[in-house]
Amino acid sequence: MPFLELESNLAADRFTEALVERLRQAAADILGKPQERVNVTVKPNVMMLVGGSMSPCAQLTVSSIGVVGTAEQNRQHSSKFFDFLTKELGLTADRILIRFYPLESWQIGKNGTVMTFL
C-alpha cells in the first residue's frame, strides 16, 4: 500500500485530477503495486525553499511496504519518478527532491486493524 505525498510551491491549478491519476498510475508501475492500492496526496501552494531558492520546486515522499527499503531499489525508483515529475511539472531535476520511507505492515491501519492482520 504505497503512499505518495507531493508538495510543491506551484499553483493548485497545475495539479489537475488527470495529473494526480497519472501520478498514481506511474507510481503503481514504478513500484510494482496495484493501482487501487496507491494513495496520493498533493499539496500545492506550499511555501518551499529548495537548494537555497524559492523558484518553482517540488518534493515527493514515497512510503511503502517492501519496495523502498534498499539503495538499489530507490535508485531505480528515483530515476523513474524524476522522469515523470520533470515531464509533468516542467521542472528541472535540480528543483525536485524525493524521500523514500520503508514501512512495515504493522505501521498501516486499515478497516479497524493493521495490514499485518488483513
Give the H or E element holding residue 102.
strand 96-103
Instruction: Please compute the mean of the pLDDT values over residues 34-41 and round it to a whole number.
Output: 97
State whether residue 57 is helix, strand or coil.
coil
Sort 57 into a burial class: Cβ within 10 Å, 0-12 / 13-18 / 19+. buried
pLDDT tens digit sequence for 82-97: 999 999 999 999 999 9
Asked whether the CA dihedral 17, 43, 58, 40 is positive or negative, the reply is: negative
Maximal C-alpha separation, the chain: 45
* Predicted local confidence at residue 95, as pLDDT: 98
Instruction: Please compute the mean of the pLDDT values over residues 12-33 and round it to a whole number.
Output: 98
pLDDT tens digit sequence for 44-84: 999 999 999 999 999 999 999 999 999 999 999 999 999 99
Q: Which of 106, 99, 109, 115 is nearest to 4 (CA)?
A: 99
The band of 17, judged by pLDDT with boundaries at 50, 70 and 90, is: very high
DSSP code, position 111: T
